[in-house]
Each structure stands twice: as structure tokens, then as C-alpha cells.
Amino acid sequence: MTMANIRSQEKRIQRSERERLENRRRTSTVKTYFRRLEQALESGDQEATEGEYRALVSKIDKAAEHGALHPNNAARKKARAARLVRQPPAE
């Protein structure tokens, strides 16, 4: 399906697609871990919440380190997660 006539450009297109899918995987994982944190908060289990928070921060840091997330975006997501964890449960 590639339109390139040059072999090196065909390889570059293939590499770009691989990298795009890897970035999608990383950002999707961050979203999944956010949902897991929210579920742990709803359950009220402090230990589970702490574990999910630590796992989420780790996934965000790894995604930013690999370039899947912009550093400012990663910082914003970590601040949002910290705010959720810090916040007292709504009655």
C-alpha cells in the first residue's frame, strides 16, 4: 500500500508505522491504568489504590521516556492522578 518508489523510504514508512503502533500501545496502557486507579478509589481499598497509583505513575513515566507522551502531558496526568488519590471520598 506504500506509494514510495525508493527502498529506503519504504523502510522508513514501515518503521514509522511500527513506532506509531508502539506509541498507541503505551498511551492506551496509561488510559487503562487510569481506569484501574478510578475503580480502586471507588472500591475504597486504600492498599489497592496505592498500588494502582504507583503502577500508573510508572507507566506514565515510561511512556514519556519513550516519547509516546510529551513531558508536560505526562506531568499533567501525574498531577491529576495525585489529586484524585489525595482527594477525600465524596459522600
Q: What is the pLDDT of residues 26-40, one digit of tens each?
A: 999 999 999 999 999
Tell me how far CA of residue 33 lies from CA of 16, 19, 77, 79, in angstroms: 26, 21, 11, 15
Cell of 53: 497509583
Statement: residue 44 has pLDDT above 90: no
Q: What is the mean pLDDT of residues 3-8?
A: 89
Q: What is the pTM of this model?
A: 0.84
Q: What percent of the chain has pLDDT over 90?
A: 85
Amino acid at 15: R
Question: What local confidence, expressed as pLDDT, does residue 50 receive?
Answer: 95
Over the chain, what is the mean pLDDT? 92
Which CATH number fits the domain 7-86, given the four candidates 3.40.50.620, 1.10.3720.10, 2.60.120.10, 1.20.58.110?
1.20.58.110
pLDDT band at 18 (very low <50, low <70, confident <90, very high): very high
